[in-house]
Amino acid sequence: MNIILIVIGKLKEEYLRNACAEYAKRLSRFCTLEIHELDECRLSDSPSDAEISAALKKEAVQIKRYAKGMIVPMCIEGKQLTSPELSQKICDAGVNGYSSITFIIGSSFGLDDEIKSMGDMKLSMSKMTFPHQLARVMLLEQIYRAFQISSGGKYHK
């Protein structure tokens, strides 16, 4: 299975980069992981709705270059799953002929509606708001946990 993570923006904090590297190393037992860090569009301090929309559309063009297989946009209106449910979705993707799953984390302004509509499943981590950089670590941890669950590992317990 190929897991593709498309993220808008770069990790600034070393401890977050280290956490992502640790989960990438752990995931290498289960899948091929690609992480594509795409540039975030620069906006004014108080951007208008039109400026935000234009930025999201520019980011969408970049995202579409790397998205393939089962597309999973991360967005607040997405479905919340338990860890075992996410594990089952990943297993089901393989059974249903997908060799890749692409998870997409947008900028602080979210994702363009075109990217959301491409999704085979929209996923939300929580009703709470998290920093986008922390969301990347959390998502990688949950993907690792999902593979551990499906392989009968003890990590989930």
Residue-range definition of the domain harbouring residue 141: 2-150
**Helix or strand (DSSP H, E) at 13:** none
CB 16 within 8 A of CB 137: yes
Residue 5 in tokens? 């993570």
In a domain, 39, yes or no: yes
Residue 69 in tokens? 């297989």
- Split at pLDDT 50, 70, 90, the class of 31 is very high
Is the pLDDT reported for residue 156 higher than 70? no
In a domain, 99, yes or no: yes
Torsion angles phi and psi, residue 122, rounded to 5: -95, 135
In a domain, 23, yes or no: yes
Mean pLDDT of 75-94: 96
- Split at pLDDT 50, 70, 90, the class of 7 is very high
Q: What is the pTM of this model?
A: 0.95
**C-alpha–C-alpha distance, residues 75 and 61, integer Å:** 18
Mean pLDDT of 142-157: 90
Is the pLDDT reported for residue 90 higher than 80? yes
Tell me how many domains the chain contains: 1
Helices (H) and strands (E) in the chain, counts: 5, 5
For 39-70, what is each residue's pLDDT tens digit? Answer: 999 998 999 999 999 999 999 999 999 999 99
In a domain, 7, yes or no: yes
Residue 115 is predicted with a pLDDT of 98
Task: State percent of the chain over pLDDT 90.
Answer: 89
In a domain, 142, yes or no: yes
In a domain, 155, yes or no: no
Per-residue CA distances from 123 to 43, 73, 105, 127, 151 (Å): 26, 6, 10, 11, 22
Task: State percent of the chain over pLDDT 70.
Answer: 99
In a domain, 135, yes or no: yes
In a domain, 157, yes or no: no
Indicate the pairing of strand 100-105 with strand 2-8: parallel
Residue 132 is predicted with a pLDDT of 82
**C-alpha–C-alpha distance, residues 53 and 49, integer Å:** 6
CATH number at residue 65: 3.40.1280.10
